[in-house]
Amino acid sequence: MTLSGVQLVALLMVVGMFLLFILGGLGSKLRQASDYGFSGSYTGLVGSGAAIASNWMSAASIMGLAGLFYLKGYYAMAFVIGWTGGYVLLLVLLATQIRRFGKFTAPDFVGFRYESATARTVVALISIVITIIYCVAQFRGIALLVSWIFGLEYQAAVITGAALLVGFVVVSGTLGVIRNQSLQYFILITAFVVPLMLINRKLGYFWVLPQFGYGEAVVTLQQQFGYYWSEPFASIDLFQWMALCFTLMFGTAGLPHVLSRFYQAPSMRDARWGVVVGLFFISLIYWSAPAYGVLARLFDARSGNPYKIPDPSQADLVTLTASLQAGLPVWAVGLLVAGGMAAAFYAAAGLLQSGAAAFAYDIYPRLLKPSATDADKVTVAKGVFLVLAVMVMLLSLNQVGMIAEIAAVAFALAGNTIFPAFLLGIWWSRTNAAGVLSGMLVGVLITVSTPLLGDLIPWVNTVFPLTSSAFIGAPVVILVMIVVSLLTRPPSDEIVTFLIRDVHDSGGK
Amino acid sequence: MSDQKERRRSINIFLPLPGTMQGEVRVIALLLLAWLASVLGSQLGIWLLERSADGFWLTDLIFFNLPIHFWISGQFLPLLFIGLCLLFNLWMDRHEVRHMESTIRFRATGRKKGEVAP
């Protein structure tokens, strides 16, 4: 149902879903960490896992991944493996130890571990840049959905989406922060999977578990239309694929808002088991996302265009277009739109708030106004939130890439900087401030080397691709950190003792 | 001697401290090896088969309703990662209980496990 080009039912479902989250949050009496810009509260293993999964879900997972499968087939599998495999690294190498550190943010952790205000400031700056890049991906998702709901051009939709986001956070205040993350996760997964079940049912496939049922579409494409959608490494070579996959893994273990989950876990056991449940919940999304891609391909083939070269600017909307092509009821399409909008909106709002908090609490009082009071910091955080939102909006006006690929750049930066800083900070007590600062500087340079030097030095494009630079980059950064640390003064005895006694629980032996 | 003392006073994943850390590092190494082998091995295998046996052979081999390579990468590997995390947590739970018991015993008697009173 449309009114002057506005998709009314979808709009009502979006509004309804946001109201549900706010009302669900009002009932929550659980602990908050919103002072640090992080949303969320949870209890028990399922709650802990849902918090991890809900924190993870964004436009990249709900919209971007299906778009990549639709456009590039097996290539997108690097995202599935990278984004799930990264949690193994996170769990076995970092999660428990981060919880033992007892710090609340990545800058807090680095500042304490390396006994350096400079390192803390650098990590805060890197976190803000990661926030901006990640938010550009979310804004793209918001803009595409706003464009569809209101019938707007892309740029007008970016501005409208940004205004809606800022308005939502300003009007709702702390209510705009998700409080009941279990509720959010289960609503989002329902909004993502139910339309998929309906499409499978309409096509006569096994719809109870659409994560398996869609396989028939792959076979139909091959047998009836001669289109081998799942052909491995058709659009990318093995090295590039591996580079992307491992970059996403290192980035997953280095993203500040992912690491933040472990500072807030009620106990170390919760921190660890939450990963297992959370990874299962995240996998439910990734077992489902390829289905939208292949089903949209099947609809293209059925309409007489099996070898269609899709428009990349529209591929991120493939979950929606597949549902429309399948002729799903308007409420199911609305559910999908509301889910995508909520994932992108809350991810962007949460990231902008944590970016603003990083500036207000880690940079402003250290570099700009040492005498800042708590009230000053809150005012600065609000101002920086608006500044960041405007910056992200301006960067989003041009369609620079697909949602998942933009997000991958943020993963590359995190994988080249924060991941090595945490890894060595926990597992090698000799790492010092000079080492970590040099390493992170090299990491930043590696991340931007392709756009900066790619034309002058062609091999840089191959070794450090923009979305996949951490595969080679992270080991190089680790090496730099080790060499510089060995050449400079070791960290204090206090921090080494803390690592031995408190972080590795070795009782000083 | 001073080298040994220095080593005992530092954290290094390749030279874990005796006791709790050694066991933990051993488990981490095994799990990371399985993690790395599963990712590298599966993709290298798929790539080699695609090159040597014609990619269409893989796409025609259906398992769980999906082409086999697609099922391995898209469904099996995430499941394997969940399994690795599960194993790690089970081991850590047991490890923590053992560590807690030995700490309590030491505090109560001043003796380590197996140590006989003089």
Q: What is the DSSP string of A107-140?
A: HHHHHHHTT-HHHHHHHHHHHHHHHHHHHHHHHH
Q: Do B66 and A233 touch (CB under 8 A)?
A: no
As given in the structure block, the two tokens for residue A378 are: 């809150």
For chain B, say whether A272 makes contact (Cβ under 8 Å): yes
Q: Do B35 and A89 touch (CB under 8 A)?
A: yes
Please tell me the distance from the alpha carbon of residue A95 to that of residue A399, in angstroms, as a whole number: 36
Q: Do B39 and A280 touch (CB under 8 A)?
A: no
Please tell me the distance from the alpha carbon of residue A484 to that of residue A434, in angstroms, as a whole number: 7
The SS3 call for residue A96 is helix
Residue with the bigger pLDDT between B21 and B84: it is: B84
Please tell me the distance from the alpha carbon of residue A481 to that of residue A463, in angstroms, as a whole number: 20
Q: What are the domain boundaries of chain A?
A: 9-503
Judged by phi (left if over 0) then psi (alpha if -120 to 50, else beta), residue B99 lies in alpha
Q: What is the DSSP string of A449-502?
A: HHHHHTTTSHHHHHHS-TTTTHHHHHHHHHHHHHHHHHHSPPPPHHHHHHIIII
pLDDT at A406: 94
pLDDT at A191: 93
Rounded to 10 degrees, the C-alpha dihedral B45/B50/B55/B60 comes to -30
Whether A355 and A128 have beta carbons less than 8 Å apart is answered as: yes
Residues 6-25 of B with CB under 8 A from A: 8-13, 17-21, 24
> Residues B74-84: what's their mean pLDDT?
96
Q: Do A232 and B55 touch (CB under 8 A)?
A: yes
Q: Do B69 and A74 touch (CB under 8 A)?
A: yes
Please tell me the distance from the alpha carbon of residue B22 to that of residue A159, in angstroms, as a whole number: 55
Q: 3-state SS string over A217-258? A: HHHHHHHHHCCCCCCCCCCCCHHHHHHHHHHHHHHHCCCHHH
Radius of gyration of chain A (CA): 22
For chain B, say whether A10 makes contact (Cβ under 8 Å): no
Place of tokens 């090159």: B51
The top-level CATH class assigned to A9-503 is: mainly alpha
For chain B, say whether A429 makes contact (Cβ under 8 Å): yes
Please tell me the distance from the alpha carbon of residue A423 to that of residue A259, in angstroms, as a whole number: 12
Total residue count of chain B as it appears in this document: 118
Q: Which residues in chain A are closer than 8 Å to B60, comparing Cβ atoms?
A: 222
Rounded to 10 degrees, the C-alpha dihedral A297/A303/A308/A314 comes to -70
The minimum CA-CA distance between A340 and chain B, rounded to whole Å, is 22
Q: A334: closest CA among A347, A323, A326? A: A323
The SS3 call for residue B114 is coil
> Residues B61-72: what's their mean pLDDT?
89
Please tell me the distance from the alpha carbon of residue A104 to that of residue A144, in angstroms, as a whole number: 34
Q: What is the DSSP string of A141-203?
A: HHHHHHHHHHT--HHHHHHHHHHHHHHHHHHHGGGGS---HHHHHHHHHHHHHHHHHHHHHHH
Beta bridge pairs of residue B66: B63
pLDDT at B117: 54
Whether A102 and A260 have beta carbons less than 8 Å apart is answered as: no
For chain A, say whether B78 makes contact (Cβ under 8 Å): yes
**CA-to-CA dists, residue A134 to A281, A283, A396, angstroms:** 21, 21, 11
As given in the structure block, the two tokens for residue A260 are: 């933040």
Whether A74 and B70 have beta carbons less than 8 Å apart is answered as: yes
For chain A, say whether B64 makes contact (Cβ under 8 Å): yes
As given in the structure block, the two tokens for residue A163 are: 């205004």
> What is the amino acid identity at position A253?
A
The minimum CA-CA distance between A245 and chain B, rounded to whole Å, is 9
**CA-to-CA dists, residue A254 to A100, A276, A422, angstroms:** 17, 18, 8
Q: Which residues in chain B are closer than 8 Å to A234, comparing Cβ atoms?
A: 55
Residues 6+ apart with CB under 8 A from A461: A450, A454
The minimum CA-CA distance between B117 and chain A, rounded to whole Å, is 22
The minimum CA-CA distance between B7 and chain A, rounded to whole Å, is 11
pLDDT at A508: 40
Please tell me the distance from the alpha carbon of residue A64 to that of residue A134, in angstroms, as a whole number: 12
What's the distance, CA A441 to chain centroid?
Answer: 23
**CA-to-CA dists, residue A3 to A8, A200, A216, A332, A465, angstroms:** 7, 30, 37, 19, 45
Q: Do A233 and B47 touch (CB under 8 A)?
A: yes
For chain A, say whether B102 makes contact (Cβ under 8 Å): no
As given in the structure block, the two tokens for residue B65 are: 């309703």
**CA-to-CA dists, residue A189 to A61, A279, B97, angstroms:** 11, 13, 36
- The shortest CB-CB distance from B59 to any of A228, A242, A430 is to A228
pLDDT at A235: 79
Q: Which residues in chain A are closer than 8 Å to B64, comparing Cβ atoms?
A: 212, 215
As given in the structure block, the two tokens for residue A387 are: 């500044």
> Residues B50-70: what's their mean pLDDT?
80
For chain A, say whether B48 makes contact (Cβ under 8 Å): no
Please tell me the distance from the alpha carbon of residue A291 to that of residue A218, in angstroms, as a whole number: 9
Q: Which residues in chain A are closer than 8 Å to B69, comparing Cβ atoms?
A: 74, 230, 232
The minimum CA-CA distance between A165 and chain B, rounded to whole Å, is 33
Q: B104-113: per-residue pLDDT in tens? A: 655 566 655 5
Q: Which residues of B90-109 are buried (b: 16+ CB within 10 A; e: fewer)?
A: ebbeeebeebeeeeeeeeee
Give pLDDT < 70 ranges for chain A: 1-4, 25-43, 172-180, 264, 506-509
Whether A150 and A242 have beta carbons less than 8 Å apart is answered as: no
